[in-house]
Amino acid sequence: MIASLRGRVLDRSTEGAAIVEVAGVGYEVSMTSRSLGSLSTDSETFLYIHHHIREDNQQLFGFTTMLERATFRILIATHGVGPSLALAILETHTPHALVDAVATSDVNALTMVSGVGKKTAERLLVELRSRLSLPEIDSPVGEHSGGSIREIRAALEQLGYDPSEIVAATSELSADVDVSDGLRRALSYLGAQRA
């Protein structure tokens, strides 16, 4: 099993994969766009790897932190979640944002993930509640965490922003951010993106 790769980034594709050359061998590694964006072509990188093996296929999934890989593994161990959906969830939510969404039963946060409807989101919330309990990914904020983010997302949705824009604008906000400050920062980010 391949657990990590250290090598030179040869290419980053628009299909969500990087080719990392290690000792003359190029490995195709599927990643989130956030992780791909952190790589520079023709530079050395280190990735934590999940080596996914099926009877008819082998795939490598790469992560820049152990936390992301641990969350990915928890997701694919959940009923009905394959590697593609797990990667889509991490594409939309950081591990901490996912923990906050589950802790606050935020169905809307999960329905922002491409391919996840309301019923699937509700089922995932129930199943993930008991699974997302690793000490390193427990949410550091209190039991009412995530309420500010929910309010900010709802306000942005009412202003007509699409889910991908909303996720991008709120992904770096802390769960206990002041709503007005968080909304101002999110709108500033969105304004710069549309400029």
- Over residues 96-127, the pLDDT tens digits come to 888 888 888 888 889 999 889 999 999 998 88
The set of long-range contacts for 164-172, using a CB threshold of 8 Å and a minimum separation of 24, is 164/112, 165/190, 165/193, 166/112, 167/92, 167/93, 167/112, 168/193, 169/193, 171/93, 171/94, 171/97
Q: How many CA atoms lie less than 13 Å away from 142 in the CB half-sphere?
A: 5
Band of the pLDDT at 195, cuts 50, 70, 90? low
- Over residues 136-178, the pLDDT tens digits come to 444 444 333 456 777 887 788 778 777 767 777 877 777 778 8
Whether the Cβ atoms of residue 29 and residue 60 lie closer than 8 Å to each other? yes
